[in-house]
């Protein structure tokens, strides 16, 4: 909900608590144990941003965020809060677009292998540094050879080709060991099993589609983009790499804007701990960098997680707006975490932060937002407002209607196949095969010709010999007898003279 000053009215202590729109790009955190109200708080924030005309993106873990598509209904819980706060919630639907990497519960979101990039790839495939180096070389070779890497079969074909011709590329691109190529190929198999075939390819998702604004009841509302993540969540590496790719794409697309009256876009990162679980140093640096720099592009990133300690310190330190729901303290480790979380707030003299953290009811939270000057406000114990959209999921049929009516189905519904590395390498190998066949045929023809010539020569020689020996028989004999007669005559003459 937004108040008369166009500020985000999201919670109430004994007075309304508002989030300053111009501080909304200083990022935020929604934390709390399971069932304490994190998802509903996320919905309240997203609806308020939409009311302000700011589009947002969120990953929906259990399908329960889909409710924003429909107007909510009055419940006892909500009626009580209306009374406590002295406000009336106008139940209303919000402009919603559904996406799904697997294309089942929303428009497919595809990305080409090339645009996804080596870093995120090596993250989802847990590649070693050497393997990542080989993958990097494969990407560069394909780039230099103008072979688009669109989908997994392109990457597979490129790996095969480069692996088989490794020597040819070695000087320019470094060592490409067949062992590394082999293990990348095995990893690709696992990725295919995780649904990589649906995810990588064309048409590529156009980030502009996130930024739409729709007029509803005469007010321009920001689009709420929901990614169905229940299936994706079971492939945590793909989930975190995909969201990281989205964030980086938004970052690369938007220009620097500095401080603005309100953000351009809000990105909600649910189950945020997945992003950091066994992330490589390079990926961790990338996350930190994007979170730090995306602020000046007018984008706010909100992390949602059970325990704030799941988020690395230098990311946590950048999250200015905090909604902390109840924590549980069953183990010494939990108790330590509760202490640390309590200490991260500016204390409020009217209550004990640490104690309050353990007492908070569902939909109640400790809240500290950044004030107009960017300083964190003193922590307040407050009840969250209720969503104006429905709490909980919509039906399958309602989802189908939303998908059909969104206007994006035509753009993303069908996969597009163009001539890319796979097709080009098939063509090249067919060309090579044909050339090899032609070369062999030529070689054979030449051999036959040589054989034929040799036989001809042999025949000619034999003929010549034959004719030579037959000529010796008649004039040879004649010559011998002539010589003989002449010889006898000569000898007789000499004898006569001697006598």
Ligand X SMILES: Nc1ncnc2c1ncn2[C@@H]1O[C@H](COP(=O)(O)OP(=O)(O)OP(=O)(O)O)[C@@H](O)[C@H]1O
**Positions that interact with ligand X (CB under 6 A):** 32, 34-40, 77-78, 362-363, 384, 386, 391
64 versus 380: smaller Cβ distance to Mg ion: 64
- Beta carbon nearer to Mg ion, 39 or 180: 39
Q: How far is the CB of 385 from Mg ion (least distance, A)?
A: 17
**Least Å from the CB of residue 1 to ligand X:** 12
Residue 420 contacts Mg ion per CB under 5 A = no
Q: Would you say 38 or 381 has its CB closer to Mg ion?
A: 38
Interacting stretch for Mg ion, rule CB under 5 A, among 34-42, 80-88, 295-303, 376-384?
A: 34-42
As a whole number of angstroms, the distance between CA 139 and CA 260 comes to 38
Written as six digits, the tokens of 337 are 């975490």
Q: Work out which of 36, 39, 194, 307 binds Mg ion, going by CB under 5 A.
A: 39
Residue 32 interface partner, choices ligand X, Mg ion, none, CB cut-off 5-8 Å depending on type: ligand X
Q: Which is nearer to ligand X, 356 or 391 (CB)?
A: 391
The site partner of 72 among Mg ion, ligand X, none (C-beta below 5 to 8 Å per kind) is none
Of residues 34 and 470, the one with the C-beta less far from ligand X: 34
Stretch binding Mg ion (CB under 5 A), from 33-41, 106-114, 198-206, 274-282: 33-41
Contacted entry of Mg ion, ligand X, none for residue 363, CB cut-off 5 to 8 Å set by kind: ligand X
In the complex, minimum distance from the CB of residue 35 to ligand X, in angstroms, rounded to a whole number: 5
The sign one gets for the Cα dihedral 121, 127, 128, 133 is negative
Identify which of residues 74 and 486 has a Cβ nearer to ligand X in the complex: 74
Nearer to Mg ion, 38 or 262 (CB): 38
Q: Which two tokens stand for residue 176?
A: 């490409």
Contacts 24+ apart (CB under 8 A), 178-184: 180/130, 180/131, 180/133, 180/134, 181/134, 183/127, 183/131, 184/125, 184/127, 184/131, 184/134, 184/135, 184/159
Q: Which is nearer to ligand X, 4 or 34 (CB)?
A: 34
Q: Which residue's entry shows tokens 């998802």?
A: 39
Contacts of 34 (CB under 8 A, 6+ apart): 306
Complex with ligand X: residue 148 or 363, whichever CB lies closer: 363
d(Cα 146, Cα 406) in Å, to the nearest integer? 35
Least gap, CB of 236 to Mg ion (angstroms): 16
388 binds Mg ion (CB under 5 A): no
Q: What is the spatial distance between Cα 426 and Cα 431, in angstroms, rounded to a whole number?
A: 8
* Crossing angle of the two packed helices 281-294 and 236-253, in degrees rounded to 10: 40
Span from 37-45, 250-258, 277-285, 402-410 in contact with Mg ion (CB under 5 A)? 37-45
Q: Which is nearer to ligand X, 16 or 203 (CB)?
A: 16
- Closest residue by beta carbon to Mg ion: 39
Nearest of 2, 15, 107 to residue 378 by alpha carbon: 15
389 strand-pairing partners:
71
- Dig out the tokens for 158 from the structure: 């490129």
Report the C-alpha gap between 16 and 23 in whole angstroms: 17
Q: How far is the CB of 411 from ligand X (least distance, A)?
A: 32
CA distance 493 to 487: 10
- List, in sequence order, every beta strand (DSSP E) within 129-200: none
- CA-nearest of 243, 207, 226 to 94 is 226
* Distance in angstroms (rounded) separating the CA atoms of residues 344 and 354: 11
43 binds Mg ion (CB under 5 A): no
Q: Which does 35 bind (CB under 5 to 8 A by kind): Mg ion, ligand X, none?
A: ligand X
The residues, any chain, with a CB within 8 Å of residue 109's CB and separated by 6 or more, are: 99, 100, 101, 199, 205, 227, 242, 412
Provide, rounded to whole angstroms, the least separation between the CB of residue 408 and ligand X: 28
CB of 36 to Mg ion, least distance (A): 9
Check if the beta carbon of residue 200 is closer than 8 Å to that of residue 152: yes
User: According to the binding rule CB under 5 A, does residue 66 interact with Mg ion?
Assistant: no
Which range touches Mg ion (CB under 5 A), out of 14-22, 36-44, 127-135, 243-251?
Answer: 36-44
By C-beta, is 77 or 475 nearer to ligand X? 77
First to last CA, the chain: 160
37 binds, among Mg ion, ligand X, none (CB under 5 to 8 A by kind): ligand X
Out of Mg ion, ligand X, none, what residue 386 binds, judged by CB under 5 to 8 A for its kind, is ligand X
Distance in Å, CB of 326 to Mg ion, minimum: 13
Cβ–Cβ < 8 Å for 308, 324: yes
Window 174 to 233, contacts with Mg ion (CB under 5 A): none
Contact partner, 160, from ligand X, Mg ion, none, Cβ < 5-8 Å per class: none
Residues in touch with Mg ion (CB under 5 A): 38-39
């Amino acid at each position: 909900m937004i108040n008369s000053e166009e500020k985000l009215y999201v919670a109430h202590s004994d007075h309304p608590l508002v989030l300053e729109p111009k501080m909304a790009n200083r990022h935020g955190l929604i934390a709390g144990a399971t069932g304490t109200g994190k998802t509903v708080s996320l919905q309240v924030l997203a609806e308020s941003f939409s009311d302000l005309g700011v589009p947002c993106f969120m990953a929906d873990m259990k399908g329960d965020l889909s409710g924003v598509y429909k107007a909510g209904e009055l419940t006892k819980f909500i009626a009580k809060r209306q009374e406590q706060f002295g406000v009336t919630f106008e139940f209303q639907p919000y402009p919603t677009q559904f996406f799904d990497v697997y294309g089942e519960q929303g428009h497919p979101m595809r990305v080409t292998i090339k645009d996804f990039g080596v870093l995120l790839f090596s993250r989802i495939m847990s590649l070693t540094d050497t393997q990542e180096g080989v993958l990097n070389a494969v990407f560069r070779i394909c780039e230099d050879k103008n072979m688009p890497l669109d989908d997994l079969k392109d990457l597979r074909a490129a790996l095969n080709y480069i692996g088989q011709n490794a020597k040819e590329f070695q000087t320019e691109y470094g060592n490409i060991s067949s062992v590394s190529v082999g293990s990348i190929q095995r990893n690709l198999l696992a990725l295919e099993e995780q649904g990589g075939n649906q995810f990588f390819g064309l048409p590529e998702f156009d980030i502009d589609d996130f930024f739409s604004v729709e007029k509803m009841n005469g007010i321009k509302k920001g689009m709420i983009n929901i990614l169905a993540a229940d299936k994706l969540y079971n492939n945590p590496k793909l989930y975190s790499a995909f969201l990281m790719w989205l964030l980086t794409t938004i970052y690369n697309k938007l220009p620097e804007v500095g401080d603005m009256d309100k953000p351009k876009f809000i990105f909600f990162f649910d189950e945020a701990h997945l992003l950091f679980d066994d992330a490589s140093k390079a990926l961790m640096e990338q996350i930190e960098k994007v979170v730090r720099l995306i602020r000046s592009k007018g984008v706010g990133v909100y992390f949602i997680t059970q325990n704030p300690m799941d988020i690395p310190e230098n990311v946590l330190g950048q999250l200015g707006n905090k909604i902390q729901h109840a924590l549980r303290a069953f183990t010494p480790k939990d108790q330590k975490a509760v202490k640390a979380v309590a200490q991260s707030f500016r204390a409020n003299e009217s209550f004990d932060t640490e104690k309050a953290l353990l007492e908070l009811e569902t939909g109640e939270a400790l809240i500290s937002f950044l004030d107009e000057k960017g300083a964190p406000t003193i922590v307040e114990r407050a009840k969250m407002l209720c969503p104006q959209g429905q709490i909980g999921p919509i039906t399958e049929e309602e989802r189908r209607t939303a998908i059909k009516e969104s206007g994006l189905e035509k753009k993303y519904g069908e996969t597009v196949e163009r001539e890319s590395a796979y097709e080009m390498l098939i063509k090249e190998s067919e060309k090579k095969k044909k050339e090899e066949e032609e070369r062999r045929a030529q070689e054979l023809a030449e051999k036959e010709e040589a054989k034929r010539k040799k036989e001809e020569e042999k025949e000619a020689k034999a003929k010549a010999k034959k004719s030579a020996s037959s000529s010796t028989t008649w004039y040879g004999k004649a010559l011998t007898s002539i010589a003989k007669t002449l010889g006898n005559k000569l000898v007789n003459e000499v004898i006569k003279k001697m006598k």
